[in-house]
């Protein structure tokens, strides 16, 4: 008679294998500039933190009221922990939890992405009221990881007009978790960099390209309709020529285009669509794409085909 392991038990070898797989996938899919921008953001954040803590201590010694920013920086570890806990609590009590019985197709998508990316457990997933807004996000609190999808975005794939678009979005969000973007320590490390104009947004954009790579690796066919939905919403998405948008990444240029991208947390949509179409080079962080930089095999991409030759 063989002894059955208790429920939830994961063999050490299997756990090790899962971790190795996750590392391998991360290494393959991470944007090549993400770790560099992360290190710059951590260093810049540490400088601001040191200045803030110093100012706070000075104010206490001199019995003055500390500067608001200095106070926020000193309280950052608790503040961050509290805000992440609040976010999860709001989802738990206001969101629709995606479970094997509530939106089973979507639950299967979350579970499939988690398994493919080597996560040891399936993240919690929620649908929240979008009120017309198109958005989705991933975060964590303690050891829990979770994603949430705005209802308007969920409806694009929910029951199930375009399941691949939703599959791509869910894989993008689970990809954030697999890539370590939802870690408390990471968020704390870059806490102050969010106040630095170029550095914080550049890191964020590199993370978005990484998450798009996860989405593409899991469901390449969903990326075009996901981008079209981000461009024009859940009703017009079917009539969008996403190739025309991707082409404009190369055509639209100038100082103001540069500043719009440089200040954005997500790559501007044309660049993002271009990066998903041209798999021969990573997405551009600061300078507009100039067309394929190397000869790549034809993309496995029914909706996004390369633009006309120049």
Which residues contact Zn ion (rule: CB under 5 A)?
208, 211
Contact 91, 146 (CB under 8 A): yes
Least distance from Zn ion to the Cβ atom of residue 55, Å: 34
* CB of 140 or CB of 307, closer to Zn ion: 140
Can you tell me the distance from the alpha carbon of 71 to that of 60, in angstroms, rounded to the nearest whole number? 11
* CB of 211 or CB of 226, closer to Zn ion: 211
Least distance from Zn ion to the Cβ atom of residue 260, Å: 18
Least distance from Zn ion to the Cβ atom of residue 117, Å: 14
Can you tell me the distance from the alpha carbon of 182 to that of 214, in angstroms, rounded to the nearest whole number? 15
* CB of 139 or CB of 243, closer to Zn ion: 139
* CB of 49 or CB of 147, closer to Zn ion: 147
Least distance from Zn ion to the Cβ atom of residue 88, Å: 18
Can you tell me the distance from the alpha carbon of 69 to that of 190, in angstroms, rounded to the nearest whole number? 15
Residues 6+ apart with CB under 8 A from 15: 120
Contact 237, 225 (CB under 8 A): yes
Can you tell me the distance from the alpha carbon of 223 to that of 172, in angstroms, rounded to the nearest whole number? 10
Least distance from Zn ion to the Cβ atom of residue 1, Å: 49
* CB of 206 or CB of 307, closer to Zn ion: 206
* CB of 165 or CB of 211, closer to Zn ion: 211
Helix (H, G, I), strand (E, B) or coil at 211: helix
Least distance from Zn ion to the Cβ atom of residue 270, Å: 17
Can you tell me the distance from the alpha carbon of 304 to that of 220, in angstroms, rounded to the nearest whole number? 10
C-alpha distances in angstroms, 152 versus 95, 165, 231, 234?
Answer: 14, 12, 13, 7
Pick from 225, 204, 219: which is nearest to 273 by CA?
225
């Amino acid at each position: 008679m063989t002894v059955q392991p208790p429920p939830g038990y994961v063999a050490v070898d299997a756990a090790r294998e899962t971790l190795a797989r996750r590392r391998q996938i991360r290494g393959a899919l991470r944007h090549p500039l993400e770790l560099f921008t992360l290190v710059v953001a951590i260093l810049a954040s540490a400088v601001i933190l040191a200045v803030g803590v110093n100012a706070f201590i000075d104010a206490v010694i001199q019995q003055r009221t500390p500067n608001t920013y200095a106070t926020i920086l000193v309280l950052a570890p608790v503040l961050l922990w509290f805000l992440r806990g609040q976010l999860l609590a709001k989802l738990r009590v206001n969101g629709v939890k995606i479970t094997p019985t509530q939106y089973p197709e979507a639950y299967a998508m979350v579970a499939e992405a988690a398994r493919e990316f080597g996560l040891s457990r399936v993240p919690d997933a929620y649908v929240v009221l979008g009120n017309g807004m198109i958005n989705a996000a991933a975060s964590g609190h303690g050891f829990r990881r979770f994603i949430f999808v705005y209802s308007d975005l969920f409806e694009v794939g929910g029951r199930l007009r375009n399941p691949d678009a939703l599959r791509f979005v869910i894989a993008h969000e689970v990809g954030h978790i697999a890539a370590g973007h939802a870690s408390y320590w990471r968020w704390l490390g870059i806490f102050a960099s969010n106040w630095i104009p170029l550095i914080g947004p550049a890191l964020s954009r590199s993370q978005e390209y990484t998450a798009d790579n996860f989405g593409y690796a899991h469901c390449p066919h969903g990326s075009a309709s996901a981008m079209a939905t981000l461009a024009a919403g859940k009703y017009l998405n079917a009539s969008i020529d996403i190739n025309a948008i991707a082409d404009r990444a190369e055509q639209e240029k100038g100082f103001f285009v540069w500043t719009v991208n440089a200040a954005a947390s997500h790559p501007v949509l044309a660049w993002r669509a271009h990066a998903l179409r041209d798999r021969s080079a990573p997405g551009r962080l600061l300078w507009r794409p100039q067309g394929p930089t190397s000869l790549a095999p034809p993309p496995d991409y029914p909706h996004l085909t390369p633009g006309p030759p120049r």
